Chain A
Amino acid sequence: MVMQDSEICRDNSFTGRSSLKAGLRIVLFFAALLLLLALSMLLGPSGIGIPDLQSPSGSAILSLRFSRLLMGMMTGAALSASGVVFQALLRNPLAEPYVLGVSGGAGLGATLSILGGSGLFVTLGLPVVAFIAAVLTLMLVYLIASQGSSGHPSVYSLILSGVIVSSICSSVIMFLVSTASVEGMHNVIWWMLGSLQPVSSGQQLLSAALIFGGLVGIWLLSPRLNALALGREMAHYQGLHADFVLVVGLLFATLLAATAVSLSGMIGFVGLIVPHVMRAFFGPDNRKLVPLAALGGGTFLVVCDALARTLLAPIEIPVGVVTALAGGPFFLIILQRRMKQAWIA
C-alpha cells in the first residue's frame, strides 16, 4: 500500500501535489485490489496455481473459486459500505451493523427461516426475511433509545440499546438452535459460522440485486452523509431533510447488512474495521469512501476466504476467524499510524 508522509498533504503549498498524490494513491489501490483478487483465484484446497483447464475437474474448480470470489465481493462490499454509513450517521467510530443489533436481527430472521421454511422459501425468502427482521430490530432499538429523550435519541442511547437488543437476539438464536432438530441445528450453525460457500443461483442473483441497489442508494446519499457529520442540527440549518437522510441511510445500510448476513452468515470485523482503514487512507469524504470501502471490503473478504480454504486444506477454517485473526493485527497497525487522518482521537 502507499506509504506517504502525511505532513505533505497538510501543507497547503503542496495542494496540487497532494491531489496528484491522492489520485496516484487511488490508482495504486485499484492495482493492489486486482492483484489480490487474481492471487486469490490461485488459492484453493486442491492446490496452489491455475488448475488444469483441460480437465473437467479443473474448470469446475476454477468456476467454484470464481463464484466464491463473487460471494466474497458481495458480502464484503455490503458489510463495509453499511459500516461506513452507520459510522457516518451516528458520528461514532464504534458504530457498525453488529453494534446496532441489525446483524443480530437479520441473523434471527435468517435462523427462523432456515429452521421453519423449506425449499424455495429458504433460498429466495432468506434475504427478505432477514431484511424485515433487521428493520424490525432497528425500529425496536430506535424506540427503546427514544424513551425518555425529547424527540431524538442520542447516539449513546442508540448504541446502548443496540448492544442490548443484539445480545437478546443472539440468546433467542441460541435457544432456537438448542431446541431444533439435529439437521436444523447443523444448518444454522454452519450458516452462523459464516462461510462463502456459494448459495443457490436464485439467491445469489436476488442478493446481488439488493446489494447493488443498496450501494447505489448509499452512494447517492453520500454527499448528504458528509453534511450529517456535523450533526443533525447543523445539517438541518444547511437545508437538508436531516431526519429523512438519517432514516433512508439507516434503511439502506440495514438492507446491505441483512443481505450480507443472509448470504454468508455472521462474518464479523469487516463492517467495523474496513471503513476505518479506508477512511485512514482516503479521508472521511463519504463520496469517495463508499465505493472505495465497498471494493476494499469485498477484496479483503475474498482474500481472507482464499486463505481460509487453503491454510489447513482440506479443512476449511470459518472465514470470520480469518478476518479477525489475520486482519486484526494488520489493521490495528495501520490504524495506529493513520488514525489522525480518519477520526480525531
Chain B
Amino acid sequence: MEQAALTFREVSAGYKHRKVLDNVSFSVREGEFVSLIGPNGCGKSTLLKTAAALLKPLSGLVELFGQDVHRIKPALRASLLGVVPQKIESPMAFTVSQIVMNGRISSIGRWGTISSRDHDLVERSMIYTDVLGLRERYFTELSGGEQQRVALAMVLAQDPKIIMLDESISHLDINHRQEVLQILMNLNREKQMTILLVSHDLSLSASISDRLLLMDSGRLIKAGRPAEVLDPEILSMVYKCDLRVQQDPYTGYLQVSGAVDSLNRRKQLNRNVHVIAGGGSGIELYRRLLIEGYEVTTGVLNRLDSDAEAARALNIQVVLEQPFSPVGSDAIAEALKMIDNADTVILSTVPIGSGNLVNLELASEALKRGKTVLLAKGIADRDYTEGKAALQIVTKLMTDGAVGWQSIQELMLQLHQHSHS
C-alpha cells in the first residue's frame, strides 16, 4: 500500500536569527521520485536538514512514515532515511571501504562487533554503485564522480527507505551524472526506494521525476507533475529572468531554457532607455537593462550618489549635478537631450524630495514628447515633498498614459512589449 514516506505539516524552520522555511506543507509518497527545485538560497538545503531532524522546526511537524521525526531514535531514523550531502570531506586518509562502513555505524554493537548482515549490506551497496574495485583506495584521492558514488554507497549501506540528495550530482560531469542518476532510478524502480533530489537542472529534474516541488524564498510555490510546475510564467517569476519551456519533439521531455535567448536579443536590440534614479535604486535596473541589451542613459544624479558610481562603473552615460545644490538648467537641458534620444523613460523606486522633484518634471516632459514612461508603483510611500507634490505629478502622469511597474521582472516584460509595439 502506498503511504506517505515524508510529510511536512506547516513547517517553519531556520536558524537563530533567520527564519528560512516559511509554513511549508507537502507530502512524498513511498516509492515516489521527487525533485526539489528553486533558486539559490531558497531554503532547499534547510528543508533537507529539517527533514533529517538535524534542524528542529520552529513550528509545525515533520513526519517520517507517520512518526514525528524528532521522536524517532537516531539508529532507526538512519534505517529509514539517508542523506547524500553536496560533498563529503574526510580530513583523514580513510579508505573507501572504511568510509562505506560508516553507513552501518548505528548498528555496530557496543563492543564494536560488526554482524555479517552489516558486511553484506556494505558489500552489496559497493557493488550497486560500482565502487568495489576502489575499496582499498584512499577516499580523498578519488575523482569527484567516484567520491560521489562512494558517498551514495555509504548511504545505501544504511539500507534506508528514503534517500535525499542535496545537489549531490550538480557538479558531476555529464557521464558521471547520468551514471548516478541511473543508479537512483534503478533503486526507485526495483526497490521502491523513495527519492528526494535537490537539483538545479530543471529539464533533467522534469525528465526523471514523478513530481516537482518548486520553492522560492522559503515557501513552497508549487508542487505537482513536471508539466504543471514547469510553467514559464511561474518559473520566470521565481527565477527572476525570462524562461521558456519547450517540449522536445522526439522524447517529449520538457526543456527549460533562457540564457541563450537573452544573448540573441542583445545583438538585435537597438533600443535606448533613460533611467531616472538615485540613492541606489538604479543599480539593479542598470544591470538588468544592460544584460537585456538596452542602451542605457541616466540622470540627473547627484555626483556622490551611489547610482552615479554604478553608472560610471557600468560605462553608462550620465548627467551629474554637484551635491547639495539645486539641479541647474545645464543639467536639465542635457538630460532632456538624452530623453529625446531614448525610446522609453523609466522612473526607479527613488524617494522624491524637493531636491530631486525636478526629475519627476523630466518624466512629465518625456511623456509630453511622446516617450513611453514606466513608473515604479507606490510613490505615496516615497514622497517626501511638501504638500505631496510628487504624488500629484505621478497621479497626473498615470492618467496621461504612463505605465506603472511593481517588480523588475514585470518592468522587463513591459519594456519587451513596448519594444515590439
Contact = CB atoms under 8 A, between A and B. Distances in A.
Whether both chains belong to one complex is answered with yes
Interface of A: 9-12, 15, 18, 88, 91-93, 150-151, 220, 222-224, 226-227, 229-231, 233-241, 279, 283-285, 287, 340-344
A237 B82 contact: yes
A237 B49 CA distance: 9
A9 B91 CA distance: 20
Contacts of B111: 220
B94 A237 contact: no
A316 to B, nearest CB: 38
B249 interface: no
B1 interface: no
B65 to A, nearest CB: 15
B419 to A, nearest CB: 47
Contacts of A233: 49, 54, 85
Nearest to B48: A237
A73 B176 CA distance: 51
A92 B92 CA distance: 9
11 contacts: A12-B133, A15-B136, A88-B92, A226-B105, A229-B90, A233-B54, A238-B154, A239-B74, A284-B93, A344-B92, A344-B140
Given A236-B52, A238-B105, A344-B138, 18 more contacts: A15-B136, A151-B15, A151-B16, A220-B110, A220-B111, A222-B112, A223-B108, A223-B112, A226-B102, A229-B92, A236-B74, A237-B83, A238-B106, A239-B77, A239-B106, A283-B93, A285-B94, A344-B91
A237 B141 CA distance: 24
A222 B94 CA distance: 14
Contacts of A239: 74-79, 105-106, 158
Given A223-B108, A236-B52, A238-B102, A340 B93 contact: yes
B385 interface: no
The contact size tier of chain B is 35 or more
A243 to B, nearest CB: 11
Give chain B's interface secondary structure class.
Answer: mixed
B381 interface: no
B144 to A, nearest CB: 15
Contacts of B81: 237
Contact of A12 (B78, B134, B140): B134
B152 to A, nearest CB: 13
A234 B15 contact: no
Given A226-B98, A230-B102, A233-B54, A341 B93 contact: yes
A240 B74 contact: yes
A344 B99 CA distance: 15
